[in-house]
Each structure stands twice: as C-alpha cells, then as structure tokens.
Structure 1
Amino acid sequence: MSLDGLAKDLTTQIIRHVLDSRFETIPKEAIERAKLSILDTLASAIGGSNDRIAHFARQLGAFSGGKAECTVWVSGEKLPACLAVLVNATTARALDFDETYELCINGCHASAYDVPPALALAERDSSITGRELLAAVATAIDLHVRLARSVTANSINTGRDNMVAVWGTTTVSTKLLRLDEEKTRNAFGIAYAHAAGEFQMYEEGAHTVSLQQGLRARSGLESALSAMVGFNGPREPFFGKYGFYKAFEPTYDLDLLVNKLGCNYVNDRMSFKPWPSCKCTHPGIDGLLQLREKHSFTGEDIVSIELGLNLLAESLVVQPRAQKWNPKDPVVARFSLPYVISVAQHGRVTIGDFRPEALKNPAVRRIMAATKIEVDPEIDRTHGLHQNSPTTVKVKLKGGVEHFIRIDKPFGHPENPASLADGMRKLKACAEMSMLPFSDKQLGLIGEFIDDLDKQPTLAPLFELLLGRK
C-alpha cells in the first residue's frame, strides 16, 4: 500500500476510529482483555513500587509539586495528573513484569503505557464510567499495537524503539478528555513532537527502559491537554512529507495498521507475563519448569543446560556474553537468559530473584557457569524474524540422563492465554513485594472492581484501594 494520495484519508480514518470507538461496538473479547490489561498494570506497579527505579520516579515527581490531582499508586502522594502518570507508568515497567505484544518484529509494552493516563483521567474526572474507561483502553492498546506492528524494520538493527508509543497514550487521553475531531487531530500532531524511542537503553541495561515508558505516558496526556487549550499540531503526523513513516520508519506495512481497523481489536492478542523478565526469556523458563515438573529433578541434580533460539533473541538476551553471564544490575539480569534460566532451576522465577543481593546466589552462579546458549539454525530459519523466539531446552543430570523440550508458545502467549484469575494470582504475588502492605481483602476488592468494571458508574472507589497501608 502506497502513501501517495492516501495520507489525508488514512489519517482521517484513524482519527475518526478513535472518536467513534465505543463500548457497544468493541468485541466482548477485547473488552474482557482490557480488564486484564488494567489489572496487570496495577499488579506490576504494586510489585515494582519498592524497586529503586520506582523510588527515583517518586523523587522526580516530588521535585515539581503543583496541583494535587491524582494518586501515586501504593505510596499515596498526590501530584498533577501528568506527573502522576509519569511516576505510575515508570513504576509499572520497573520490573519488566508488565504484559507485552509479541506477534510482531518488535515487542510492544502497550498496556503499562496506556493504562496509567486512563486511570489518572478517571480520577481527575469522576464522571468517567467503567465502560468509557474500558473502551478507551481497548482502543488505545489496539491502535498502539497496530502502529507498532506496521513498522517492519527491527529496532535491534535501526536503534529506534517503539516511537509510536506516544500515540497510544494520546489516544486514551483524547477519548477520556472527550475531545472533538479537530482537537483530537491536533493532539496527534502535537504528540509527534514528543515521539522518541531508542534501543541503546537495552544495550546498556539503563533505567530509561522504564523511565521512557513514563515519559511517553506523560507526553500523550500533555499532547491531549495541549490540544484541549488550543494548540494545533501538524495535520499529517503519520503520512505527511516529513511525517513519521517517511522521516523515521520508511520500511512499513500499512495493511498491518489499517486492515479491519474498528472491527478486529488486536488488544486481545497481548501476552501476559507470569515471570518478571524480558519476554524473550519466557520460552526457556517455561521449558525448564516443565522438565523439572515432569522429571522431578532439582538444581543440585543439574550438570549442564543447553538452549537454542534464533539470532534476534540471542542478540538481545545472550549478548554481550560477558555481561549476560555476570549480571551486576537487576535491569541487566532481567534481560539475561542465562541468569533467568539458572534461577528457574529453583522451580520459580520471582521478583525477589532480581534483588541486587540475589544476583550473587552461588547456586544460581553454578548453573550459569554450566549453561550454554547458541543460535539454533532450524529455529532461525523458520522463526528468524520473531524477537520472542521458540527455544529448545536440554538438561543433562547427574548419571548422564538427559531431558529435552522445545517451547514455541509459553504460558501467557495469546495462544496459551492467561485469565483474570491468573491476573489476580499475579497481583497477590506482586503485593508481597510492595513497599507498603496490602491486605488480602483489599487485593480481592481490587480484583472484584476490575472484573465488574463495565458496571461501575465511576472509578472513584478504586483509588483508595490502590494505597498501601502505612
């Protein structure tokens, strides 16, 4: 599909889709999946609240002060909406535990970008109903994912990572601010000025993996508010002469953006994360846990582990080898396949396994030293463009016994999906690591509120439930 002669029509189609999308017109599966996305984002933020990245984010929010509009989840400070969004979105990504879209060449952490501004606006305006919120979240994640998957150049090669995120957060903000067509279009144009995304943060294991999520969540809300007060922006931020696709991503597939837009909502294809590490590591974790469960061995029985995956995933979670076999920082550890597979020999991978002190665990270090990871030629031939690669796992035990498994779709994959009940189990596990305690009753009420979100006349009761007990 060419851009020639289509730019104006395509941009108008996108803007009108954002405006016209309503609870009644969105498929039930997309609405139900939006509930899990909201619950998952809250769980990830609660679990990440005691991470040092979350502490940095709260300190950053406190510097600016301003109108006390919206709640910082868990700790309870009140900040201007845009700052609260920055803090909450950064915290939700602090552990790399939030769900992602994996069915494209580049991953896309849409939910924890788009849910924080949605909830901030619902707290700011108590007239926003649960149905309105669900429609906005489903629409925003759908468009966010569509834009992400339309980019067909791999960010590992280009260094440009998920620049489209700002339009997901703009979508949810324009819908909940109830902007008209002209102001919505201006908001999308203004958001282009905020668009940014780089891959060097993954290369170095920098805190900006999380902070950039908060920055883009804030940017989407600021773009919508800027349009609301009267600013305009480029009318063709996507397809203009210097628009996004020509200036930044000239390799694209517009069918992946607009095909069945408004009919199929691809937010229901998000992948749930049962373990707090890069999704590329999950096939390996799932494989080792399955072998361990089936054959009843422990870490002490393991002589060696061999894994095979494609080159793309190998470049992200195996390289550079000196760093990935000796992670000294929790961010690096979450993107280290040898580390997480060595942790999984305990029979689980938890938030606590990424505490700085846990990185020195001698049992984990022993397994890491005995772990070999190489590119599997067959997987690379058949799944070479999949960043979250199928993974083979071969375990050799004392006595010479070997066990083997290949995992293509680990638990949480859209074809091996999680339920809202799985989201509740994750919420409870995350609450165990919260900076402030949550009672079982409180966690249950959060789950019930989200499950019944389509029946809620206001979101106001939720925000008290999101505060840890001091």
Structure 2
Amino acid sequence: MDATTQIIQHVLDSRLETLPREAIERAKLSILDTLASAIGGSNDPIAHYARQLGSLSGGIPECTVWVSGEKLPACQAVLVNATIARAVDFDDTYELCINGCHASAYNVPPALALAERDPSITGGELLAALATAMDLHMRLARSVTTNSLSTGRDNMVAVWGTTAVSSKLLRLDEEKTRNAFGIAYAHAAGEVQMYEEGAHTVSLQQGLRARSGLESALSAMVGLNGPREPFFGKYGFYKAFEPEYDLHLLMDGLGHDYVNTSISFKPWPTCRAMHPGVDGLLQLREKYKFAGEDIESIEVGLNRLAFESYIVQPHAEKWNPTDPVAARFSLPYVISVAAQHGQVGIGDFRRETLGDPGVRRIMAATRVEVDPEIDRTHGRHQNPPQQSM
C-alpha cells in the first residue's frame, strides 16, 4: 500500500476504541487549552477584527463564535474561532519538529463546529477525529527537515490536519477523503514574513488554514475532486516545496504511536522560543530576590539560529515594539517584562502597556548575543537530518 493510501486509511479507520488512552486524554486537553486561549484572546484587537470579518459573510447561522456567541456559517465560524485562539499566542504547540506546530488551535475549531452543526456526531467520534487529525498534522510537520527561517515557508502542512478532522466528522468515504486531501493542496500556504513584521496574519493565517480544511472536505463531499497524489506526486507537496524530508518521521508508527501525546502547553503567552530565557530569568529572580529596579543590565545568550531569527531581528523593532504582535515576538521585551514584573501575562501585550517605563528601562539595558557554548551544545536544527523517499 502506498503512503498516501496509508494516510487515508489511517484517517478513516481510527476509532475511539482503537486509540491509546493517552491520545484521547490529550485531545480533551487540547480542546480545553484552545477554548481557554480563545477566551484569553477574545478582547484582543485581532479578535475584534476577526469577528467583524466573519460578520460580513452572511449565510446560514449554524455555528457559534466562541465567547461572543453570534452564529455564522460553519466555514466562517471556524475562520474566526481559529484566529481568536491564536490571538494572544497562548495556544499549545509541538516542539519536537523543526518549525514548531500549533496543531490544537488549527484542528479544534473545525471539530467543534462540525459537532455543533451535526448533533449526531458523538463525543467519541469527536475525540477520535481530533486525536487522529492532530497526529497527522504533527507527523507532517515533523517530516519537514528544512528550517522555515531559511526557506520562508511556514507550516504549509497545517491544511491537511484540518482536512483530516473535517473529512472524518463529515463521514466521507475513501474516495471523497482522497479528493479532500487533493483539494486541500490547492489551499496549502504558510509564510514566515508575518513573524518578521509582527503582522496580524500570525493569527489570521491559522484561521485561514482551519477554514480551508473544512472547505476542502465540503468540496469533496459535493463531488469536486482534486489530485490523487497531493503529497508524493510528480508535482506534489514534497516535490514542489519540501524535497528534503524524512518519510520515516511521517509514516513510522502511523496508527499506533499517536504524536499528539507530545503536545506542549505554554506557561507564558509568547512565542515558545523565548520561554527558556523567561524561565531562567525568573529562577534567578527567585534565587537572588531582586526586583526590576535592582537590575542594571541583562545579557541573554542564544544559539546563532535564534539570534538571527525574528525574536531578535530586526534590532530596531525588537528593542522598540509598538504593536502587541511585535511585542509577543520580541525577546528583549518579553525578558524585560519578566524581569520587571516577575511574570509574563496577557495584559503585558496590550498596546497601552507596551510603554511601561520600568520595562523600557530594562529593555534598553538588555543585550542579546550568540553564546558559543550554547551554540555548540544546543544549536538545534541548524543542520537537520535529510532523508528523502
């Protein structure tokens, strides 16, 4: 059986009774974490913009926009909810792949929308579909071995996770599921420039891919078809976009080893790459009992990969963030917030708090540099293994 057929069969055949208990329990936590992240981000400007965008669509009011409660067509509700779930960058992530992967907040919105749309979907069906889709999403993400900081392509595979959860909950047969994956290839997208500039598309792009997965499954349901080999065909995804990939990381243990059990929950509402620095600073703060006003300067050591990334560069913007999104991806700002307040919270990224004088004073005295020892021992993903099919 070829790999594409194995993937389709994996999606079709998974059942609550056959999934590992831990995979189901993690799917439950993913739902809770995604809803909590959406609640936390529901008053963010991005959430307001997303709801305004959703309201422009008209159509059948069939699915709920989280927190605010209005009803929208399923595809639009998914777009809005997935965007809001990422608004404050508090949603969980998968760290064991080269470019990270926010699988829950992509896949939970279409799963819950379809369950609301069709009351015959059971809780067991919902959880099995979610765990399966997240497993596939994360496997696809870890199969990519080139760093997005080098290519500019970011998590283009996300659309197949949302297609998987949608196809399974729509109860598509094998042929229509294959078509849904093929149609989703036309929707596949993802870029890193949004992080570089601190653009709203960090959140909106997540909503777009969540909607795209549902639209792909619905398109197949009504009879549209797509390429039968969207992954490994002559012009398929891996040939066109990621020719250096690891097939083993995609296929090994498929149907037995559910990768969603390795999801990571965030303690701070910021880019996960900055959390080790925050944690280290807070440990020092606790050990030596100093406060923000006691700090004269801070030096942060990184590997070269992180130093050259969007959490430090461009220098002028990262040491003077003027927008909440830019601040969430500014290591100097986040470290200075932790140093000043002893924690990092959602409120630290409101536009009116970005000019906090204590934080600004520390940020101006913060230096970030490449630490040769860290770069030697933890230069993670600079030269990833490359193994093509």
Counterpart mapping for 1:432-443 below 5 A? none
2:209 aligned with 1:216, yes or no? yes
Deviations 1:181-205 (Å, cap 9, x if unpaired)?
A: 1111110000001101111111111
1:343 aligns with 2:337: yes
Alignment partner, residue 289 of structure 2: 296
TM-score normalized with structure 1 length: 0.80
| Candidates 78, 103, 117, aligned match of 2:96 | 103
1:152 paired residue among 125, 131, 145? 145
Give the secondary structure class of the aligned counterpart of 1:97.
coil
Matched with 1:317 is 311
Deviation at 1:382, TM superposition (A): 2.6
Find out whether 1:138 has 2:131 as its counterpart. yes
Aligned to 1:362: 357
Question: What is the DSSP-based 3-state SS (H/G/I as helix, E as strand, rest coil) of the residue aligned with 1:23?
Answer: coil
Q: How does 1:171-190 map to 2 (within 5 A)?
A: 171-190=164-183
Tell me which residue corresponds to 1:16.
9
Residue identity matched to 2:83:
T
Mapped partners of 1:57, 1:310: distance in 2: 36
Aligned to 2:30: 37
Shift of 1:386: 4.3
Structure 2, gaps ≥5 residues long: 383-389
Letter paired with 2:313:
Q
| Cα distance, 1:260 vs structure 2 | 0.5
Q: Is residue 2:67 matched to residue 1:74? A: yes
Whether 2:325 is the aligned partner of 1:331: answer yes
**CA–CA separation in structure 2 for the residues paired with 1:11 and 1:386:** 27
Query: After TM superposition, what 4+ stretches of structure 1 lie above 4 angstroms from structure 2?
Result: none
Mapped partners of 2:259, 2:239: distance in 1 = 25
Read off the aligned partner of 1:367 and give its amino acid letter.
I
Secondary structure of residue in 1 paired with 2:2: helix
The match for 1:249 is 242
**TM-aligned CA deviation for residue 341 of structure 1:** 0.6
Q: Could you tell me the percent identity over the aligned residues? A: 82
Q: Which has the higher contact order (CA 8 A, sep 6+)?
A: 1
CA distance in structure 1 between the partners assigned to 2:148 and 2:25 by the alignment: 31
SS at match of 1:24: coil
The answer for the alignment partner of 2:386 in structure 1 is none
Provide the rounded CA distance (Å) in 2 between the counterparts of 1:344 and 1:150.
34
Which of 356, 372, 376 is equivalent to 2:371?
376
Letter in 2 for 1:337: L
| Cα distance per residue 1:378-417 (max 9 Å; x no partner) | 2222322349xxxxxxxxxxxxxxxxxxxxxxxxxxxxxx
Secondary structure of residue in 2 paired with 1:226: helix
Question: For residue 387 of structure 2, what is the aligned residue in structure 1?
Answer: none
Alignment pair present for 1:167 and 2:160: yes
Instruction: Return the alpha-carbon distance in structure 1 between the equivalents of residues 281 and 121 of structure 2.
Output: 45
For residues 381 and 70 of structure 1, what CA distance do their matches in structure 2 show?
A: 50
Q: Provide Cα deviations, 1:24-54, integer angstroms capped at 9, x if missing partner.
A: 1111111111111111100111111111111
- Give the counterpart letter for 1:233 in structure 2: G
The amino acid across from 1:327 in the alignment is P
The AA in structure 2 aligned to 1:171 is A
How far apart are 1:316 and its partner, in Å?
Answer: 2.4
Q: Which amino acid aligns with 2:144?
A: V
1:217 is displaced (CA, Å) by: 0.2
Q: Which residue of 1 aligns with 2:57?
A: 64
Structure 1: unaligned runs, 5 residues or longer? 1-7, 388-470
Aligned counterpart for 1:46 among listed residues 39, 42, 51: 39
Q: 1:364 & 1:259 partners in 2: Cα distance?
A: 47
> How far off is 1:107 after superposition?
1.1
1:242 is paired with a residue of what secondary structure? coil
Which residue type is aligned with residue 86 of structure 1? Answer: L
Distance 2:33 2:290 in 1: 32
Counterpart of 1:374 in 2: which secondary structure? Answer: strand
